[in-house]
Structure 1
Amino acid sequence: MPRAIISPSVLASDFGKLSAECKRMMDGGAEWLHMDVMDGHFVPNITMGPPILACVHKGVPGIFMDCHMMVSDPEKWVDDVAAAGGALYCFHHEATNNPMALIKQIHEKGMKAGIAISPDTPSLEITHEVGNAVDMILVMTVYPGRGGQKFIERCVPKVAELRARFPHQNIEVDGGVGPSTVDACANAGSNIIVAGTAIFNAEDPEGVIQGMKMTVTNAQAKIAAERDY
């Protein structure tokens, strides 16, 4: 089974001190930082772009930027995000007509490739070919575009369906996830958890990160044991 990773969503951070906020999360045990890139077209919001990613990459040595590209033309931004230091480029299934070509483009720039599905997109839209070509599959448990939304529980079975078809794949969950909802995601088979306000607004963010990571690790061990049995 793939290992447990917690990826705090910087959308919930204080953008006035973004690099310091990212460093605070890494010091608290986060391995990845989830960077929400929104273009105002694919989603009705605008956040950060490659220039900001480049500043964070320069200011936070060793950062792994998990770039969630909520953009209507994901092919357009691959080169710029790679040059800005992006480590993983996750595009939306709904935003491209040729995912395999885009995955190849991302890999050629030295980044890991991810594919995301929104709440109304069935998990079966991720084909065997695509699911095995990417380095991560992201299941959105809120509608993309803004932080602080309520967790959509009906999305959880998609995680289980994907885990059954792709037992060794990284499966990420993003949206409304925190200590009260991480169990459902982990038990369904998600090994990468994105959490924003639950971590950034916590009195003890390190404790929240470690607690959620332990929940995922335990769930992964249980799933692996059941599969072997």
Structure 2
Amino acid sequence: MMVKVTPTVFVKEEGVYRERLELYEAFVDRVQLDVADEEFCLAPTLSVRQLLEVPSILARDVHLMVSEPVTHLPVCAEYGAGVVTGQIEQMSDQKEFAREAERLGLKAGLAVDLETELSELNWSVAKEVEQILVMTVAAGKEEQKFNRQALEKVRQLRNKGFSGEICVDGGVNEDTVVFCVRAGADLLAVGSAIWKATDAKAAYEQLSRLATAAPGKLQ
């Protein structure tokens, strides 16, 4: 399976968001919108509606780092979001989240925070979702140091037979790409390593090349 790189958008101001969309529309077709409330950060991001109501040619996945992610699914469906992933730590019921996403015609994903063990996943639900997102930093904060130990969760998911998309999110850059790919990830969510680069397109293309050229996955 080809490993893909998708830029993330973690913003608190609409002007910055529009600039970021314009930047990415020039060289990608898919981004991940990060939505965080006060449970995750002192200065919350723009809301799901504020993000999705801005027109864009990009396919937009949504990573919900919010209390009770299920309550945000109707807005995601209203605006035609792609994969919608919620932090399991903030869910009362993982099954309810997945079922509601399906009812609304959305592709569901489950996200596991840095300190959360895979045993917290409801496997009967997790094995059927579109995506499992593994955080390699603490959710809701930018520019943290990559935690390589978290990649053990990726290996465990593959060993358990998860056949969906495994996304690694947090601290992914030119130095850490190879570890993510070798662990079994097939989607890399990248923030500042792209948008802070002098040439964002070149940075994205280099990360994509590194992901494609990375050595075979570890068993």
TM-score (norm 2): 0.89
SS in structure 2 at match of 1:89: strand
One-letter amino acid of the structure 2 residue matched with residue 22 of structure 1: L
CA distance in 2, matches of 1:140, 1:117: 6
**Residue 5 in 1 paired to residue 4 in 2?**
yes
Partners of 1:75 and 1:104 in 2: CA distance: 10
Mapped to 1, the partners of 2:44 and 2:170 lie a distance apart of 17
Match of 2:99 in 1: 104
Q: 1:13 to 1:177 in 2, by over 3 A?
A: farther
More deviation, 12-21/140-149 = 12-21
Q: Secondary structure at the match of 1:173?
A: strand
1:93 to 75, 85, 88: 88
Q: What is the Cα deviation at residue 217 of structure 1?
A: 2.8
- Residue 54 of structure 1 and its aligned partner are, at CA, apart by 2.7
- Write the letter of the residue equivalent to 1:36: D
Helix, strand or coil for the counterpart of 1:160? helix
Residue pair 1:50, 1:84 contacting (<8 A) in 2 also = no
Among residues 29, 37, 40, which one is paired with 1:39 in the alignment?
A: 37
CA distance in structure 2 between the aligned counterparts of 1:65 and 1:155, rounded to whole angstroms: 25
State which of 37, 48, 51 in structure 1 corresponds to 2:49: 51
Deviates further, 161-170 or 181-190 = 161-170
How many Å separate the matches in 2 of 1:145 and 1:53? 16
1:190–1:216: 8 Å Cα contact kept in structure 2? Answer: no
Contact 2:14/2:46 (8 A) holds in 1:
no
Is 1:129–2:137 an aligned residue pair? no
How big is each residue's C-alpha offset from its partner over 1:185-220, in whole Å with a ceiling of 9 and x where there is no partner? 11111111111110001122222222222333334x
Q: How far is 1:118 from its partner?
A: 0.6
What RMSD, in angstroms, separates the aligned Cα atoms of the two structures? 2.2
Match of 2:15 in 1: 16
CA contact 1:186–1:215 (8 Å) conserved in 2: no
Percent of paired sites with the same residue? 28
Amino acid at match of 2:8: S
Residue 200 of structure 2: aligned partner: 205
What secondary structure does 2:38 align onto?
coil
Q: Distance in 1 between matches of 2:49 and 2:202?
A: 32
Q: Give the one of 133, 140, 143 matched to 1:138.
A: 133
Q: Deviations over 1:11-35 (max 9, x none)?
A: 269852423422322322x332111
TM alignment of 1:111-126, pairs within 5 A: 111-126=106-121
What is the distance in 2 between the residues matched to 1:14 and 1:31?
A: 22
Matched residues, number: 219
- Paired amino acid for 2:35: V
TM-score by length of 1: 0.86
Aligned residue number for residue 181 of structure 2: 186
Question: Which sections of structure 1, spanning at least 5 residues, go unmatched?
Answer: none
1:171 and 2:166 are equivalent in the alignment: yes
The 1:101/1:124 distance shift into structure 2, 3 A limit, reads: same
Q: Deviations over 1:75-129 (max 9, x none)?
A: 2111012213321210111111321221111122122111000111112333432
Structure with the higher fraction of residues in helix conformation:
1
